[in-house]
Homo-oligomer: A and B are copies of this chain.
């Protein structure tokens, strides 16, 4: 191991694979072969198997006994499901975070909002959007809730990158603005209602498939 490993090797492998799956570098349905991955990361397969269990828990991979692990597939119904869960849980988190929101936190969110609107590629937008949402809900201090929301954001990002691979046009997100304004005015109910609607905003985009045909691709864009 050339790196001064802070975390365990299994954690590093899990992170690296998660990144690839989210970015779409590895296609859904692809088999993750432990010996190949072990070789690539210059370890044995034991930490690789542990990494698989983490990916499985995040919903990024599915494992069938004796038949190995493959990158999880998804469809429109799962996109909707994740959007609905995000809406429900982020609303809950925001309600609990509200009493702890300070001017400094709202300023941080404001910066994230600006970065979001200024983003010229999908990766930058996703990062800023995630930061916006995270900043507002993190002060709730509920670890289990935040961890679940993080996993949902990972799933969201995957759907997004799958549909928008690279093209992206800058656009002003009025919901973000409304949420921030409402919070600044102490109007939690408006903020919560806007967020609930916002997180379920699903965009459609035509995507050329391998066979040359065009199909609709869906992703959460809120």
Contact = CB atoms under 8 A, between A and B. Distances in A.
Interface string A54-87: 1011110000011000000000011001101100
Contact of A84 (B56, B82, B84, B92): B92
Interface stretch (A16-24, A140-148, A175-183, A201-209): A140-148
B142 A8 contact: no
Nearest to A96: B84
B92 A91 contact: no
Number of copies: 2
A58 B58 CA distance: 11
A46 B47 CA distance: 10
A7 interface: yes
B82 A92 contact: no
B144 A82 contact: yes
A82 B155 CA distance: 22
A101 interface: no
Given A8-B66, A78-B144, A85-B148, A57 B59 contact: no
B78 A85 contact: no
B11 A65 contact: yes
Contacts of A11: 65
Contact of A88 (B59, B82, B88): B88
Contacts of A49: 46, 50
Interface of A: 6-8, 10-11, 46, 49-50, 53-54, 56-59, 65-66, 77-78, 81-82, 84-85, 88-89, 91-92, 96, 142-145, 148, 155
